[in-house]
Structures are given as C-alpha cells and as structure tokens.
Amino acid sequence: MNIKTNRLAFYLTIILLLALGVYMISTGDSGMGAGLIAGALGVFSMKSIQHKRQAKLEAQGKVAYDERSLYLSTKAAHAAVRIYILILAGLVLAGSVFDPVWPFTPWDLIGFLLALLVFLWIGFYYYLNQVE
C-alpha cells in the first residue's frame, strides 16, 4: 500500500466512526456515540499534527521516517505479540481451571484485548527507541 491509499483508508475509517457515533446518538446511546465521535476526532487531530510535522521535515530536506523507525516498529510489534500471546494463554488457562464468571460481554473483552495489544506495541516501541 502506498501513502495515498493509507491516507484514504484512514479518512474513510474516521468518516465511518463519525457516522457510527451519530447513529448511536440517534438511537439513544449518547455515551457510546459521544465516545466514538470524540475518539475519531482525537485520532484525526493527532494524525493531522503528525502529517504536518512530517511534511515540514520533508520540506526542510530531512528524513521523517527512516529504516530505523521501521526496524523499531517491527521489533516492537514482535515483542508485543509475544507478550500478548502469553497473556491470552494465561487468561484461557485461568478460565479453564477456575471457570470465573466475568461481567464482560464478548465485545467488551475484544475491545480490552485490542487496546492491550496496541498499548503493548506503543510501550515496546518507545522503550526500544530509548534503548537502541
């Protein structure tokens, strides 16, 4: 995928989240709708700042994204997935042994696990950026 395709997918995702937020508000779930809209606007704002920063660096003739960034991202993703798999295996083992009754719907649990994976990747990326 090239940069234009990635940006198009990003903008379509933001539009979809905004539309889903408006739909949730119209059906009466204002908390979820407001959360979706706020999250979409927050991500859009941060990515816009990041794009402007990269464009400024490129205009100055500096490299905004190099091989080191790709290397660190790959290494961080690998470490995050390893830890994530261990955590999931622990949860499955605990669930099969103790059979807890958790007050989560499957969608909430999937959301928590997805957030955990993203936070692991971000944490490892910044850790590796400092160490290497």
Residue-wise pLDDT for 54-100, tens only, equals 888 888 887 766 777 788 888 988 999 999 888 888 877 777 777 77
pTM of the model: 0.57
Concatenating the DSSP letter of every residue in 31-78 gives HHHHHHHHHHHHHHHHHHHHHHHHHHHHHTT--SS-HHHHHHHHHHHH
Residue-wise pLDDT for 38-58, tens only, equals 989 998 998 888 888 888 888
Single-letter code of the amino acid located at 54: Q
Residue-wise pLDDT for 97-118, tens only, equals 777 777 767 777 777 888 888 8
Query: Whose CA is closest to 37, among 24, 18, 20?
Result: 18
Per-residue pLDDT at 45: 92
